[in-house]
Amino acid sequence: MTEILVQVGTEEQVPPGGRVVEHPAWPVLKDAVERIRPWQSKDGSIDFEAEGAPDRGDADRAVRRVVDAVEALAPLLPHDAAYHKALVADLRRWADDGFKVPDFLDSLLAFQPAANRRDGLQHLVVFPMYTQNGNPNRNLEALVLRMVWPDWLAELERTRYDNPLFCGITFEDFTSGYDTNSAVLFPETIAVREAPERFSWGGIFCDREAARFRRVTEAAVGILGLELPDDVREMVADQDRCQQAFVLWDMVHDRTHSHGDLPFDPFMIKQRQPFWMYGLEELRCDLTAFREAVKLEADGVPQGRDVQYAVLFDRMFRFPVTGERVRNYDGLGGQLLFAYLHKHDVVRWTDNKLFIDWQRAPQVTNELCAEIEKLYREGIDRPKLVHWFAGYELVSTYLAPHPGSKWAKGPDALDLSQPPRKLVDDVLPDEFPLSMFYEALSKKLKNVIASTKGIVAEGAERVAA
């Protein structure tokens, strides 16, 4: 196998710019990674004493195949030369050190996709990592992706929504960790000896988001009998148009985590808080993207109107009924948006049909965004626990808490002698259960949502290992 890879790895046979997934080394690389993955423990190491473990020689040979394949493919991607050199060194060191917990910090630091956001640019990425909303273990993964950075998006980032770390990306092909619900590539998921002082990029797969959105929206619209305006119907039928909406939505959402009146560290993953606080933060970022989309539409940016529909439909149709009901903060945000619009008469569920007041939807959606922003601004002057109760009050104004909730009974029901982080234990796994409307919708959409696992854009090529 090594000899074959050396032959196809000459500069004459692999000119820069060819498709990685069409090169004979790609299926070799993918197959070798898939061979390694089942051998790994949760932390990414290989325990050769465990039942079903490989011989050390088999593991060495598999990593050597990965290294040879990376070196054969690297000439296609001269912009990633430093990364691929560091990657090969990290792979070899992992094998030489006995396949202990992997440390790919050097190659992570060398991978800098945000420094060259050229539309259509390919990247070959190999890391031991978990995949958010996918595989929780730090398995070796390999994927080929392309950058999404059209001129109109680059101009908006330069002039209105500065976000130098954001990378819009699409799949070319991937190993098993991405045959899941994961639609992100984040550096913090990668196995390293120590976290860098700051991360320098973050990628979101707008093609998977768009394909998932289209499938679920089409099903929900049919189930609910919703009449769509012509332009909305045309958008949902158009994968490229939806991808453009999602990459813009993602860029604005991502930067919003560190913009505005923030009473907390924007990287909330580092804190232990009740899950409704995470739900409010994610919804705030989405509604900020919605508000900016209204402005962009007024300024003649065609993607602005599409972002508004994407936010409304994904938040109202997919988010509330996706995933488990255990601290499902994205689901909570979707429930809250629907309930707010319903109580302000923007959406109506009458005669088993859903009606949307398309004219009032932007104004009322922006009013919810303003309520959350007011909560945040006032939270700067509040103690943490008081702020959590204020967030609970906002949510429970529109969503009914679980009848057995201690938090719903107020501070007197909690042991306030404990630190706030301990009181999080008193939050029920499903503190705000689904309404009867969403219980019914969940049953009708569950198979559609399950079918979006590992989805790629319709017509996109997947290469068999």
What are the structural domain ranges in the chain? 2-200, 213-450
CA 361 – CA 363 distance, rounded (Å)? 6
pLDDT at 10: 34
- Three-class SS state of 411: helix
- Distance, CA of 179 to CA of 269 (rounded, Å): 24
In this prediction, residue 7 carries a pLDDT of 35
Whether the per-residue pLDDT at 14 is higher than 50: the answer is no
Q: Which of 246-255, 424-433, 439-448, 449-458 has the lowest mean pLDDT?
A: 449-458
Residue 86 has pLDDT above 90, yes or no: yes
Q: What is the value of pTM for the model shown?
A: 0.93
Across the chain, mean pLDDT equals 93
**pLDDT at 396 (0 to 100):** 98
Whether pLDDT at 8 is above 80: no
pLDDT at site 272: 86
Tell me the C-alpha distance between 333 and 280, whole Å.
Answer: 6
Q: Please tell me the distance from the alpha carbon of residue 66 to that of residue 69, in angstroms, as a whole number.
A: 5
CA distance 209 to 369: 23
Q: What was the pLDDT predicted at 1?
A: 32
Q: What is the pLDDT of residues 326-379, one digit of tens each?
A: 999 999 999 999 999 999 999 999 999 999 999 999 999 999 999 999 999 999
Give the whole-number percent of the chain exceeding pLDDT 90. 91
pLDDT for res 52: 87
* pLDDT tens string 136-163: 999 999 999 999 999 999 999 999 999 9
pLDDT band at 15 (very low <50, low <70, confident <90, very high): low
DSSP state, 149? -
Residues whose CB falls within 8 Å of the CB of residue 251, separated by 6 or more in sequence, listed in order: 153, 156, 157, 161, 163, 166, 168
End-to-end CA distance of the chain: 15
420 has a pLDDT exceeding 60 = yes
- The pLDDT of residue 271 is 72
Predicted confidence (pLDDT) per residue in 19-32, tens digit: 999 999 999 999 99
The pLDDT of residue 263 = 87
